[in-house]
């Protein structure tokens, strides 16, 4: 009763200051990290995505990261159930998710607690907390809310209780639908973003439904904005320069799918697996419009075999999967290697081994990608390091697959898959596409595997080509594709298939060093760690340290010129998100320490004593962590 009476004046207080709002000068920031979290299904993800898109339209650099619970419907108000989005907004170009969060909007205190325990929040950061739980009918919930609230305040967080539910209820019957837009309105005020851009986002998202949904969402958006203006004693501005070029804002999986479309590939064979599936979802819809098909096979092996069949018949095909699926495909990949069938395999890496952590990022499959499948099965392995590279790497992969008749593995990960970062809108180029299927007659006497002695390359005969009839086989075979019973032939053909990697390597350019080409410490990375590594290098260089980084996109074969780069530095280390033994563990020493994947590869290839730092927490490694590790390495 007491609480109820308390509530009413609060409501009025909301209305009153509207007229009396004094314009607060926004505090100028270089960048800020904000996250919006709720139970799943409450729309925090949508709110975050919209905020990111609005900031990008304002010209800010952004990097958004999805916060995804492992289950479809975790119990409401559970510590492990946080669902939402984390947006890093900056004045300049943003290359990664950054360090700890500066501000949180939380729809309940339990999901917030999960983030606090995961050490994702900056100590003392601002928390905008839904206050409906303080007056909840269930005394247990009330107690839990108060306990958490008080503990956070005591721990030094700046907790601001927000009556989102109550305010929304004055306008709509079910605040579960639309509360996220109220939060978006508040955030637009806090970050001095144009409200009109948010209205545009709502029209874009709900425009197809009906006008009443659009109207109600806009009403909540504006209400959130007004409430924040009237009741918050702070606001920020992150100066932005609008880009002069159109920018694309998509996540890594959408970028991959767009790359598949742009590469001219018409068939994607897949089996559902987290976190890869959303790329295929997107393609399924696009192919309906543009022509092409996504084949959801009965299993991962069938998906790979189907892709191999289609590629063999002349249409280079992609299969998209993640760790467990990638393991299942190994025998089929070996067949494509042996038969020299072009094939693009995407592995959106997740935590492993086994089922591991399906929704979390890891870079644990590099060795499997390079050495997977029994026997010597040379294949090309590439790893895009940015959302933009996800798009272009697929186009390159298709081209290499068809030029060299090889399997090309593209490694991304759960972090790239779900993050968004604007990049210049691609301009379609016809040369990205595969030429039409060759159906010209094969010259008399030509052989299906007429390997070139220098490059190992052979022209491939495609079904339909008169005179090219032969049986492709996974058995060792000679130039006629006849089964080779002669041990000599087996060794020769191993050589030819291996030479193709060297032939490709000769066409690659030396990678560019980020920073000076010589110095005290070089950090080598691959894949999604690119932005964080480069940011750490930038910070340390600004502090006068002689550090640089090298990011490898081609992991097999490795580009020429790497050894010379490594030799320009006193110390070299890799930073990776796959396991390496900790040197300070009691029984770990130089004779038994297992290094991170890239470190092993570089050490064995270049005979240089390369150290590694790895963190396998299912989250992208933070630039602050890398900076600290680099400083320690410099001191050693």
Binding characters for another protein, 87-106, by CB under 8 A (x = yes): --------------------
Least CB distance from residue 445 to another protein, whole Å? 16
Does residue 483 belong to the site contacting another protein (CB under 8 A)? yes
Which among 110-118, 174-182, 310-318, 555-563 is the span making contact with another protein, rule CB under 8 A? 310-318
Report how far apart, in Å, the C-alpha atoms of 632 and of each of 121, 597, 613 are.
24, 21, 11
- Locate 424 and state its tokens: 């210049």
288-307 binders of another protein (CB under 8 A): 289-293, 295, 297-299, 301-303, 305-307
Burial 112-138 (b: 16+ CB within 10 A, else e): bbbbbeeebbeeebbbbbbbbbbbeee
Residue 33 touching another protein (CB under 8 A): no
Size of the site for another protein (CB under 8 A): 74
Cβ proximity to another protein, 332 vs 345, nearer residue: 332
Six token digits for residue 604: 């064995």
Q: Binder to another protein among 89, 218, 308, 575 (CB under 8 A)?
A: 308
User: Which residues ranging from 325 to 344 are in contact with another protein (CB under 8 A)?
Assistant: 331-332, 334-335, 339
- Rounded Cα gap, residues 220 and 50, in angstroms: 14
Tokens of residue 533, six digits: 């590594």
Residue 38 touching another protein (CB under 8 A): no
Among 309, 358, 560, 624, interactor with another protein by CB under 8 A: 309
Q: Residues 271, 312, 326, 392: which binds another protein (CB under 8 A)? A: 312
| Residue 629: closest CA among 608, 610, 615, 609 | 615
Q: Decide if 106 contacts 128 (C-beta within 8 A).
A: yes
Q: Does 482 bind another protein (CB under 8 A)?
A: yes
- Cβ 47 to another protein, closest distance in Å? 18
**Should residue 324 be labelled a site residue for another protein when binding is judged by CB under 8 A?**
no
> Could you say which residues in the range 595-634 bind another protein, by CB under 8 A?
none
Of the candidates 158, 133, 132, the residue with the CA atom closest to the CA atom of residue 144: 133
- Neighbour count for residue 564 (Cβ, 10 Å): 11
Closest among 526, 522, 519 to 556, alpha carbons compared: 526
| Site for another protein contains 86 (CB under 8 A) | no
With beta carbons less than 8 A apart as the criterion, state whether 312 and 470 touch.
no
Using the contact rule CB under 8 A, the part of the chain among 75-83, 286-294, 396-404, 578-586 near another protein is 286-294
379 binding another protein? (CB under 8 A): no
307 versus 572: smaller Cβ distance to another protein: 307
Burial 169-203 (b: 16+ CB within 10 A, else e): eeebeebbbbbbbbbbbbbbbbbebebebbbbbbe
Tell me if 34 contacts another protein by CB under 8 A. Answer: no
Q: Which residue from 225, 315, 500, 530 is in contact with another protein, where contact means CB under 8 A? A: 315
Interface stretch with another protein, choices 67-75, 232-240, 458-466, 594-602 (CB under 8 A): 458-466
590 binds another protein (CB under 8 A): no
CA nearest to 610, candidates 620, 622, 601:
601
Give, as ranges, the residues between 236 and 255 that touch another protein (CB under 8 A). 242-250, 254
Nearer to another protein, 272 or 463 (CB): 463
Q: Is 199 in the site for another protein (CB under 8 A)?
A: no
**Which sign does the torsion angle of CA 448, 453, 455, 456 carry?**
positive
3-class SS at 284?
A: helix
- Whichever of 9 and 467 has its CB closer to another protein, that residue is 467
334 in Cβ contact with 375 (< 8 Å):
yes
* Near another protein by CB under 8 A: residue from 109, 266, 365, 402: 266
Q: How far apart are CA 418 and CA 275, in angstroms?
A: 8
Between 156 and 463, name the residue whose CB sits nearer to another protein.
463
Report how far Cα 22 is from the mean position of its chain's Cα atoms: 42
Q: Are 373 and 333 in contact (CB under 8 A)?
A: yes
How far apart are CB 81 and another protein at their closest, in Å? Answer: 29
Rule CB under 8 A: choose which of 279, 310, 337, 410 binds another protein.
310
């Amino acid at each position: 009763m007491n609480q109820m009476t308390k509530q009413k004046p609060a409501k009025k207080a909301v209305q009153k200051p509207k007229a009396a709002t004094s314009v607060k000068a926004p505090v100028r920031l270089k960048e800020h990290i904000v996250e919006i979290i709720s139970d799943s299904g409450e729309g925090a993800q949508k709110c975050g995505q919209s905020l990111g898109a609005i900031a990008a339209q304002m010209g800010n650099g952004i990097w958004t990261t999805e916060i995804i619970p492992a289950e479809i419907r975790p119990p409401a108000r559970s510590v492990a159930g946080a669902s939402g989005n984390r947006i890093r907004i900056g004045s300049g170009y943003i290359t990664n998710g950054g360090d700890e969060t500066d501000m949180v909007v939380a729809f309940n205190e339990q999901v917030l607690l999960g983030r606090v325990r995961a050490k994702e929040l900056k100590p003392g950061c601002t928390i905008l907390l839904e206050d409906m739980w303080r007056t909840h009918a269930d005394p247990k919930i009330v107690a839990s809310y108060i306990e958490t609230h008080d503990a956070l305040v005591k721990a030094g967080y700046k907790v601001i209780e927000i009556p989102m539910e109550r305010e929304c209820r004055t306008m709509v019957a079910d605040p579960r639908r639309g509360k996220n837009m109220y939060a978006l309105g508040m955030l637009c005020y806090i970050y001095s973003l144009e409200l009109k851009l948010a209205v545009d986002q709502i029209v874009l998202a709900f425009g197809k439904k009906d006008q009443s949904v659009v109207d109600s969402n806009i009403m909540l958006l504006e209400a959130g904005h007004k409430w924040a203006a009237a009741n918050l004693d702070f606001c920020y501005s992150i100066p932005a320069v609008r880009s002069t070029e159109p920018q694309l804002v998509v996540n890594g999986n959408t970028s991959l799918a767009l790359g598949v479309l742009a590469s001219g590939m018409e068939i994607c064979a897949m089996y559902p697996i987290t976190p890869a599936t959303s790329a295929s979802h997107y393609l399924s819809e696009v192919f309906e419009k543009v022509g092409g098909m996504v084949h959801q096979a009965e299993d991962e092996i069938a998906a790979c075999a189907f892709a191999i069949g289609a590629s063999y018949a002349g249409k280079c095909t992609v299969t998209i999967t993640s760790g467990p699926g990638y393991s299942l495909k190994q025998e089929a990949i070996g067949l494509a290697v042996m038969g020299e069938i072009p094939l693009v395999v995407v592995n959106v890496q997740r935590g492993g081994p086994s089922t591991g952590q399906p929704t979390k990022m890891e870079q644990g499959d590099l060795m499997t990608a390079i050495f997977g499948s029994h026997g010597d099965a040379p294949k090309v392995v590439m790893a895009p390091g940015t959302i933009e590279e996800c798009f272009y790497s697929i186009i390159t992969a298709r081209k290499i697959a068809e030029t060299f008749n090889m399997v090309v593995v593209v490694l991304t990960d759960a972090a790239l898959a779900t993050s968004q970062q604007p990049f210049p809108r691609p301009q379609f180029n016809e040369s990205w596409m595969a030429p039409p299927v060759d159906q010209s007659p094969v010259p008399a006497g030509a052989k299906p595997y007429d390997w070139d002695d220098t490059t190992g390359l052979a022209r491939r005969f495609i079904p339909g080509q008169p005179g090219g009839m032969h049986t492709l086989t996974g058995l060792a075979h000679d130039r006629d594709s006849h089964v080779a019973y002669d041990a000599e032939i087996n060794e020769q053909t191993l050589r030819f298939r291996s030479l193709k990697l060297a032939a490709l390597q000769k066409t690659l350019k030396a990678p560019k060093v980020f920073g000076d080409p010589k110095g005290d410490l070089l950090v080598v990375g691959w894949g999604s760690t690119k932005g964080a590594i480069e940011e750490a290098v930038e910070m340390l260089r600004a502090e006068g340290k002689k550090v640089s980084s090298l990011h490898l996109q081609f992991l097999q074969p490795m580009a020429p010129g790497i050894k010379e780069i490594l030799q320009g530095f006193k110390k070299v280390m890799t930073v990776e998100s796959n396991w390496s033994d900790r040197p300070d563990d009691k029984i770990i020493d130089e004779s038994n320490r297992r290094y991170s994947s890239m470190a092993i590869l570089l050490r064995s290839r270049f005979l240089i004593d390369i150290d590694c730092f790895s963190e396998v927490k299912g989250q992208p490694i933070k630039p602050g962590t890398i900076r600290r590790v680099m400083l320690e390495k410099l001191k050693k």
